[in-house]
Structure 1
Amino acid sequence: MPESLKSPPVEQTEEITAHPWGKKDDRYHQANKIAKEMQENEADQDAGAEGATAAHKLPSDESHRSKDASLPVRTNEDKDRPKESGAASNRQSAGPHVLLVEDNMINQRIVSRKLQAKGFRVTTANHGREAVDTVRHAPTDSSDDKGHFDIILMDQEMPVMDGNAATREIRELEKKGEMKHVSILGVTANVRGEQQDEMVESGMDDVISKPYKIEDMVQKINKALNQKT
């Protein structure tokens, strides 16, 4: 073994401590300052990491709405507004007026926003009974009143009153002369032919199966409106 390794050079370094009489030299103050700065930097990093974690752990609903323009984001101003009960309408567009009957709130919001983006006016109802009451009290079809409905998108399976029962009741109102005929497009996740036949027999003009593309629904809507014209 080389002699240099047998007896390596040793440098003597004085320990940074307070003097016996209580005073601290410059090296102590410098080391204390560095240690304090390191603690502050670590605290800042921890705070930044916590902020990033909090943003990452947003509720899935909020995270999805912020990425998807089709879903509304509630602000503090929105929270102060009274919530609409029953049918909620949107009159921003001058296009055909659609009554969207859907009990799933997420689907309702997504479809409503996408139809509005396509130029439709959209009013929503949460179940069949609400849909019947809404069309019963809607204005009649006239050039001077844009509140009438041009078409109804009727989900089949809903609480309170399903789509088939609601459609039959609406057709009865038309027979009694309480309202003019309105096209009804059934929406269902049931692909069985018998179920879809029942929807048509209840008075629906056409049926679209879930899942569907919004372009396919728009084509169905335009087809029904053209047939009505």
Structure 2
Amino acid sequence: MYLARTTDGRRIPATRDESGHCPSCNEQLTPKQGDIYEWHWSHKPGQACSYRKTATFWQYGWIRHYHASGEWEMEASLGGVDFDGIHPEKRLSLMLANKLDLIALKSFIDASAQRGLKPVVIFNTKAFERFQFEDYRLKHPKRSDNGWIFFFSHAFPGHKRTASLWLDIEQDKHPNFGLKNGIYNLTYSADCHGAITVSRTPKLRSTPRPAGLPSESISHGE
């Protein structure tokens, strides 16, 4: 996890200056502060708690970025559901998706809607590593793949768009589809059935890693 809980209830990034505890099991955590990867907290060996155990360094980078803005509550829980982030003022919810997991995505959007939150999903490019990219469209080589239906349902221009969907491109990471660093809006277009449309220019450009991520916020409705 990126944020531990202090004894007085604050959420803090990894540090050796304060003790951090797991928000779920309350066990004391170990700060991981290396020179290469994002700093984070880890359970001690033998502790069985699975709270945010599968988080990736890519997700930590985004959590760090939004936590630093001071506007988002990261690794937040609302109504018994965990979210990667919540923007209380704008009523946004955030999911950092490593996979095109349709069940998890539907669950996130349903949970957001039930709590009056507008869902924002940022995808790691690995979620589309099996897709073919041509003319700013992503299409799975197997006709039986129905991943595009999610984008048809939630990001079809001209219809009510119920989610804001983005693809995070890093040129030095595979796959990058030949695109420049930045965040690209994902939609569905009737012009190409079964494909996911990628915006031709990034809405935001990321700064060199690991120094930071875009200083601007992604807004719902793009």
TM-score normalised by L of structure 2: 0.37
Structure number with higher strand proportion:
2
Pick the structure with greater CA Rg: 1
Structure number with higher helix proportion:
1
